[in-house]
Structure 1
Amino acid sequence: MRRYLFPLISGLLGCAILISLGLWQLDRLKWKQAMIEQIENRIAAAPVPLPAAPMPEMKYQPVLVSGMTTGDEIDVLSGTKDSGGGYQVISSFVTDDGRRILLDRGFVDQDHKHDPRPATRLEVAGNLHWPEEKSSSTPAPNLEQNIWFARDVPAMAAQLKTDPILVVAAEIRGDGQGVKAMPVAVQGIPNNHLSYAVQWFMIAAVWAGMTLALIWRIRQRQF
């Protein structure tokens, strides 16, 4: 029995740890699903006029803005399944009450990056957003060609001389100038906890199988 004791304890302890990690991922899955549902409800809420002092805590808040684009824009490298590679057009936007903000108007493909988009009046229903797209590996913007690689609200605001407020358009009234709106959606929020849980449970099953195989080999040696 002493020969069985160490592999049996190791097997049980390893399985317990791996199963607990799988269960933890299932708990994280429930948390993430609740968070995504909350975000979906916020995105779908009735829009309100742009708050006097929008804060990151108001992320996804639906808002209504009207005013003029200035003709100044930032093009952020992007892409869609239907159109392939292209750019998200971030315009400097002056609201009717004189506030300068950032407006994510949507997507243009590569062939239309350099189309003229002069100042135009727009009425926009959209969502406040502070994307977390920039990381340590994100290249610096190519200012000469006006190509950015992430939506970085403070940096874009400094470049276009606006407040650090970004509204992502969902619906636009006025001359869209060929830009297709890309509303805020939950599809981009990572939620891989179920696959992680399955992986931990599969590793636990393999661990259990290896433990049984080791005990079987020890038993065979006795005979």
Structure 2
Amino acid sequence: MRQAVTIILSIAVLALFIGLGTWQVQRLKWKEGVLVEINARIAADPVSLPETPDKARDTYLPVVVSGSFGEGALRVLVSTKQAGAGYRLISPLQTDQGAILIDRGFIRVADEMPSVPEGPIQIEGNLHWPDDRRSSTPENDVSGNTWFARDLDQMAEELGTQPTLVITRQMTPAEPRVLPLPVTSEGVPNRHLEYAGTWFLLALTWSVMTLGLLWRKKRRNT
């Protein structure tokens, strides 16, 4: 009787692990579909900036904006695979619809701060509402102009703009000393394959442990 209960419980736990692993595989397929949609949206033809950009509706929306840069550039600490540690530069752009935030791109930590481009500027990029802040992210050093997260409301208040951010893909005329860091889907979390592997590994481990336990019990009873 006790052995039968053990077998039933073991099968139930094994079924749970396999079910969770299968669910994560299904989630992986769903997330891959979402990433395909995001990448297609990012690469679509740019449109004019909406009058009232909306996070739920307009995240990743490709836009083209024209205007002239205002004074100031905020430095956001970031690290890239290609160039290492550096800063994103966030500056105000005065447009016909008011002033907005522009993520101009990347400079290395050791580079001198480039001056803000003068004259009429046209920028192709993507609207974005970055989620940079984590529980371990320090507070922005506003007075020292070292930012650890792109907190749009705080940046907009500091530069006197709307809390609307366009991340540059292409600027005309270009800034030779600033490397654009366009929006990509790399920051979208997708760990479902890892989770699926974990659950299936637990299922395998559980099966081996259960079979070993049953084998030892059988030996003791013979």
Where on the TM-score scale, by shorter chain, does this alignment land: which range? over 0.9
Preserved contact between residue 103 and residue 167 of structure 1 (Cα < 8 Å) = yes
Tell me by how many angstroms 1:119 deviates: 4.3
**Range with bigger deviation, 161-170 or 3-12:** 3-12
Match of 2:91 in 1: 91
Residue 33 of structure 1, CA deviation: 0.9
- The aligned runs of 1:160-175 (5 Å cut-off) are 160-175=159-174
Q: 1:182 and 1:115 mapped to 2: Cα distance?
A: 16
Mapped partners of 1:91, 1:48: distance in 2: 21
Rate the CA distance shift 1:196–1:113 in 2: closer, same or farther, 3 A.
Answer: farther
Please list the CA deviations of residues 34-66 of structure 1 after superposition, one character each: whole Å capped at 9, or x if unmatched.
Answer: 111111111111101111111102101100011
Return 5+ residue gaps in structure 1 as ranges. none
- What is the aligned partner in structure 1 of residue 68 from structure 2? 68
* CA gap 1:199/1:98 in 2 versus in 1, 3 angstroms: closer
CA offset digits 1:173-198 (Å, max 9, x no partner)? 12515111111001221211011101
Q: How does 1:2-151 map to 2 (within 5 A)?
A: 2-56=1-55, 57-95=57-95, 97=96, 99-117=98-116, 119-151=118-150
Instruction: Determine if contact 1:70/1:118 at 8 Å carries over to the other structure.
Output: no
Please report the RMSD computed on the Cα atoms of aligned residues, expressed in angstroms: 1.5
Aligned letter for 2:84? G
Q: What is the deviation of 1:118? A: 5.7
Q: After the TM superposition, which of the residue ranges 105-114 and 12-21 deviates more from structure 2?
A: 105-114
Secondary structure (helix, strand or coil) at the match of 2:171 reads strand
Q: How many residues are treated as equivalent by the alignment?
A: 221
1:140 to 1:120, Cα distance in 2 relative to 1, 3 A: farther
Equivalent pair of 1:7/1:214 in contact (CA under 8 Å): no
Letter in 1 for 2:5: F
The amino acid that maps onto 2:179 is K
Identity %: 41
Deviates more, 1:143-152 or 1:107-116: 107-116
TM-score by length of 2: 0.94
Q: CA deviation at 1:120?
A: 4.6
Question: Cα–Cα, structure 1 residues 71 and 216, in superposed 2: closer, same or farther, change >3 Å?
Answer: same
Question: Structure 2: how far apart are the matches of 1:146 and 1:134?
Answer: 17
Residue 133 of structure 1 and its aligned partner are, at CA, apart by 1.5
**Residue type of the partner of 2:60?**
Y
Other structure's SS at 1:145 match? coil
The two structures have a TM-score, normalised by structure 1, of 0.94
Deviations 1:65-108 (A, max 9, x none): 1111113111111021121100001111111x151000001100
Q: Deviations over 1:157-212 (max 9, x none)?
A: 11111001000000111251511111100122121101110110011010011011
